[in-house]
Chains A and B, each alone.
Chain A
Amino acid sequence: MSESPSHPAAERASDSDRPTPWRRALGGLWRLTWKSQLTLRPLARTAAFLLVVPILAHLTFRADQLEPYYRWTTDFYLLLLVPLFCLYGCGGLVRDDLQGHTLPFLLTRPVGRARFYLAKLACQLAWIQMLLGIEWLFLLTVGLWHRAPDAAAMSILLLGVQVLAVLAYGTLSALFGLLHSRYLVLGLLYGFIVEVGVARIPTNINSFSLSHHLQTLLARHPPLAELHDWTTEDTWLAVLVLTLAPVFLAGLGALIFTVKEYLPSEEMQR
C-alpha cells in the first residue's frame, strides 16, 4: 500500500490554467484529421471516389456535344456528389468519435465545447475542400484534354461555387450529425424534401434550398443556364445565402454542442 505524500490542498484554478488557444486546438485537430485518413482503406476509398467521375466524364465525352460534360460536372458532381460527400464527411464530425467511443479523449481537453466543435468543423471542411479541389483539377483536366471550348472559364466558376457548396452542405451535414445518429437518412430525407422537392417548385420558400442558390450562381455561365433553364436572377441573394448559411449553421451547431451531452452509452441504445 502506498500512502501518498503530503498533497497540497486543492487550490482554485488559477489564471495559468488557460483554455487551449484557437491556433493549437486547430493544429491538434488538423493533425488528427489528416493522419487518420492516411491508411490503406480510407486512401483507397478516397482515390476511388476521386477517380470515378473524371473517368466517366472522360469516357462519355463527345466533342460535338458538351452536354454530357456539363451534366457530369454540375448535375452529377456538384449538385449530387458534393452534397453526399459532405454528408458523409461532416455528418460524422462528432458521431464517428461518439460511436467509436473516442470522444471522451477529445472532450476532456482544455478546449471549450463551442471552440472544439468549430475547430473540428473547420478542419473537416478544410480536408473536404482539399479533396474536392483535387477532384476539380481532374475534371478541369478532362475538359482541357478534350479541348472543350469553355472548360477553363466554366471550371473557375465551378471552383468558386464548389467552395461555397462545401461550406454550406458541410455545416448543414454537421448539424444533422449533432441532431441524430442516423444523419445519413436524415440528410436523404432533407435532400428529397427540400433540395429536390422545394427547389423545383417556383415559390418563395425555395430560398431554403441550397441547390437553388447554387444553380443561380452556375447560371452565370451561359451554356449551363441554357442547358438547365436556370436564371441569374437574385445572384446577390444566392451569394448572401450561401455565405451566411454556413455561419448560421456552424453557430447553431456550436450552440447545440455546448448545451447537449453526447454519450457513447446512449448512442449504443439507438
Chain B
Amino acid sequence: MPLHDTRYQHWDGAHLGIWRRRATIARNALKGCWQNKWTRYVVSVCWTLSLTQAMVLFLIGQLLVKDSSLYDWVDQLHPQMQALVRSFVAWLEVNPKISVGVTQSLLFSVFGWPLRILTLVAIALAIPHLVTRDLGSQAITIYAAKALTRMDYILGKLGGLLGLMALTWLGPLLAAWFVGNLLGPSWHFFWHSRAALGAVLLYVGPAMVFLGLLALGISAISAQEKATVSIWIGLWLLGNSLVPIARETRAWLKYASLTFDLDQISLAIFDPVAHIRVAQENVPLVGMLLQDLPARKLAVWAHPELAGALIGLGIMLAAALFILYLRIKPE
C-alpha cells in the first residue's frame, strides 16, 4: 500500500503572483551568497562598524549629560583636550539643530567609506551566484522555461544583490543612525539628524542600484567564475590606480574609475567641506586641528566633478545593461 499518491497531479491551486516569483529568485540569490562563510564574515565586520558608529553617537550624546561618567572622565583629561571637548559640547548645547546634523553627516561620510569597500568585497564574493553559475549550469534555461521573462529574472537577481548590500552598507548605516539617536539624550536628535539620514538615503540607495546592475552585467559576461570575479576586481582596482595618472595626463580617464565616480557623488551629497567649515567656525579648537588638512584636498572636495562622474557611471551602466540584454536569453 503506497503511503503517498505518486501519480502525476496537475496543480489546481492558486499561482504565486509575479512579485512573489521575483522574490523567490531574489531569496535564492541571497541564500546562495549567505552560504559562503566569507560573506558572513564581511557582513559581521560591517555590523561591527555600525555598532562602533552607534557607540560614537552615544558618547557624543553623553557629553551633554552633566552627571554622566563620561563628563567626569573629561574632567581628568589634559587641559587642552578638555577645552576642545567643552567647546564642542557648548556648540552642541547652543545650536543643536546645526551641530547634531553636521556631526552626524561627517560621521556618516566617514563610516560610509569602509562600508562601501566591504560592500565591493561582498559583491566580489557574490558575483558567481548572480548570473555566472546559472550560465555555466544551464540553470538560466530552466528559469526561461518557467513563467518568467528576462526582466523578472534580472529584477529577482537584482533584488538578491540589493538584499546583500542592505546587509553590508545601507542597513548598518541606518541601524547606526537609529540606535545612535535612540541612545541620545533627547528625542530631538532624531529630527536634527534628518539631513544626515536624507544624505545617506540619497547617496547609498541609488549607488546600490547602480552597483547591483553593474555587478549583474559583469556576472553575465562569462560562465567562468574566475573570469567574472577577476573582471569585477580588475574594474575596481585598476580604475582606482588610473586616477592619479589621469590627473597628470588625460583627465577624462579618471571617470573610468567607479570608486572615483561614486566618491564625487558622495562629496556632492554629503558636502563634507561645508560641514567642516561650520565646525571650524563654531568650535575654534576643531578649526585649528582641521587647518592641517591640505588646502588642495579641501578644494578638490569642495568641487566634486559631478557631471563627469555621472557620465562615467552612465556609460558603465549602459554597458552592463547591454551585456545583460545579450546574455540573458532566450525568453
Contact = CB atoms under 8 A, between A and B. Distances in A.
B124 A185 contact: yes
Given A84-B234, A188-B233, A76 B38 contact: no
Interface stretch (B164-172, B242-250, B316-324): B242-250
Contacts of B246: 60
Interface string A56-95: 1001101001011001100110001100100010011001
A80 B38 contact: no
A84 B38 contact: no
Q: How large is the interface on A (under 10, 10 to 19, 20 to 34, 35 or more residues)?
A: 20 to 34
B230 interface: yes
A184 B226 contact: yes
Task: Select the residue from B121, B229, B245 with max chain A CB neighbours within 10 A.
Answer: B245
Given A76-B242, A80-B238, A96 B226 contact: yes
Contact of B244 (A56, A71, A185): A71
Q: How large is the interface on B (under 10, 10 to 19, 20 to 34, 35 or more residues)?
A: 20 to 34
Interface in B199-245: 225-226, 229-230, 233-234, 237-238, 241-242, 244-245
A209 B230 CA distance: 22
A31 interface: no
B286 interface: no
A146 interface: no
Interface string A26-60: 00000000000000000000000000000010011
B130 to A, nearest CB: 15
Contacts of A99: 225
A182 B38 contact: yes
Contacts of A95: 226
A169 to B, nearest CB: 14
4 tightest Cβ-Cβ pairs between the two chains A and B: A60-B249, A68-B249, A71-B245, A184-B229
19 contacts: A56-B253, A59-B249, A60-B250, A71-B244, A71-B248, A72-B245, A76-B242, A80-B241, A84-B237, A88-B226, A91-B226, A95-B226, A182-B36, A184-B226, A184-B233, A185-B125, A188-B121, A188-B233, A270-B36
